[in-house]
Amino acid sequence: MRKKLTSLLVVLGFALQGISFFFLAAPLGLSTSEADSNPVMPFAPVVFIVGVGMVFVAAVVYELLPENSDE
Mean pLDDT of 14-28: 87
Task: Tell me the C-alpha distance between 41 and 71, whole Å.
Answer: 41
Contact 62, 8 (CB under 8 A): no
pLDDT for 47 equals 93
Question: Which residues make Cβ contacts (< 8 Å) with residue 62, sequence separation at least 6?
Answer: 2, 3, 6
Asked if the model's pLDDT at residue 68 lies above 90, the reply is: no
Residue 70: pLDDT band with limits 50, 70, 90:
low
Residue 52: pLDDT band with limits 50, 70, 90:
very high
Task: Tell me the C-alpha distance between 25 and 51, whole Å.
Answer: 14
**Does the pTM of the predicted model rise above 0.85?**
no
How many C-beta neighbours within 10 Å does residue 63 have?
Answer: 9
Name which of 39, 38, 14 is nearest 25 in CA terms.
39
